[in-house]
Amino acid sequence: MSNKVIVNEVGLRDGLQNQPKHVPTEGKLAILDALIAAGVRSVEATSFVSPKAVPQMADAADVFAGLPLDKGVSYEALVPNEKGYERAIGAGAKTVALVLAATDTMNRKNINMTLDEAIGVNIAVIKRAKREGYRARSYISTAVHCPFEGYVAPEVVFDIAAKMADAGADELVVSDTTGGGNPAQVKFLFETLAKRYGADMLSGHFHDTRGMGLVLTWAALECGIRKFDSSIGGLGGCPFAPGASGNLATEDLVFMLNESGFETGIEMDGLRAAIGVAETQTGLKLGGRIMSWYESQARREKAKASSAAAE
């Protein structure tokens, strides 16, 4: 089984979408530059959603126009419907990420559709993307827990997954929108889906609300999953899902993976610099669980180096 893990950075989209402070396009691109310098090579850059629903993403086309295309980075854009698809492709996206939730209420709150309507829209857009030569990721949000309807039956997720796979989705993203999941649920979902579609077609998207993000990641890794979404500094949350706090922090994910012998191609000092840029742009104090330990280590190393130099 491969030791390489793709860390898909979603901070520019999931991380920023509910930030009240407007981050200008140049600020978003500055965060991206720092992430690329750290070794990040897979990025969800923005979302082509209604600017009335999510004002922070109103500059989606400008963000796409400013993406550095010469650094070997794969970029994707989240789209909720056909209009979003057309805007994303018009802006140069090669991969679109469709979004639906596993419950009716969450779809109504998030994209103003019933579950059945959302399934229909996702199928139509995935089929169109495949016909037109683009890659389609398929988010299944609230796959384990919905803030409105509670725990979600795995069969509902399996049924949606089958419909998206039949439509031609290249990837199924099992998403714990509110961080309400536990490792037993996540293991069962991934074990079953991996048997049906192969682990390469699956990825995990975890929010760290209850401190479970890394444990859920580990449960998925044990099922062979090798791609995970995360957000720099732990930024983020869905504006339409009460209680959804930040995504699993990229630095926590990368630290765990690197320490465990997985290859991410991303280095921690670079992520530390990227957190600094994100803090400047958002005005927030950021950083995953690892950062306070990491900073104290760095201070200790620096003190050791300066006392050695003084001797």
Residue 178 DSSP code: T
Distance CA 270, CA 254 (A): 11
CB of 292 to ligand HMG, least distance (A): 26
User: Is 223 known to be catalytic?
Assistant: no
The SS3 of residue 62 is helix
Q: In this complex, which beta carbon is closest to ligand HMG, that of residue 109 or of residue 226?
A: 109
Q: Which of residues 92-131 bind ligand HMG (CB under 6 A)?
A: 99, 110-112
Residues that bind Mg ion (CB under 5 A): 14
Going by C-beta distance under 8 Å and a sequence separation of 6 or more, which residues neighbour residue 95? 74, 75, 76, 77, 134, 135, 136, 137
- According to CB under 6 A, which one of 8, 47, 95, 264 is a site residue for ligand HMG? 47
Cβ-proximal residues to 153 (8 Å cutoff; 6+ apart), any chain: none
Catalytic residue among 5, 32, 123, 238: 238
Which residues have CB under 8 Å from 306's CB, separation 6+?
none
The percent helix, strand, coil of the chain (3-state, each to 5) is 50, 20, 35
Shortest approach of ligand HMG to residue 205 CB, angstroms? 5
Does 138 participate in binding ligand HMG (rule CB under 6 A)?
A: no
Chain positions 196 to 225 lying near ligand HMG, rule: CB under 6 A, are 205, 207
Do residues 113 and 141 touch, judged by C-beta distance below 8 A? no
**Binder of residue 194, out of ligand HMG, Mg ion, none (CB less than 5 to 8 A by kind):** none
Residue-level length of the chain: 311
Rounded Cα distance between 103 and 213, Å, is 22
CB of residue 273 vs ligand HMG: minimum separation in angstroms? 25
Which residues, at least 6 apart from 224, have a Cβ–Cβ distance to it below 8 Å? 1, 190, 194, 199
Q: Which residue lies nearer to ligand HMG by CB, 48 or 294?
A: 48
174: tokens are 């099992």
Nearer to Mg ion, 80 or 270 (CB): 80
Single residue of 9, 12, 14, 228 touching ligand HMG by CB under 6 A: 14
46 binds ligand HMG (CB under 6 A): no
Nearer to Mg ion, 173 or 268 (CB): 173
Amino acid making up residue 172: L
* Binding test (CB under 6 A) with ligand HMG, winner from 5, 42, 43, 84: 84
Residue written as token pair 């330990």: 293
Stretch near ligand HMG under the rule CB under 6 A, chosen from 49-57, 64-72, 147-155, 181-189: 49-57
Positions in the binding site for ligand HMG (CB under 6 A): 14, 17, 47-50, 53-54, 78, 80-81, 83-84, 87, 99, 110-112, 139, 141, 175, 177, 205, 207, 238, 240
**Catalytic residue IDs:** 238
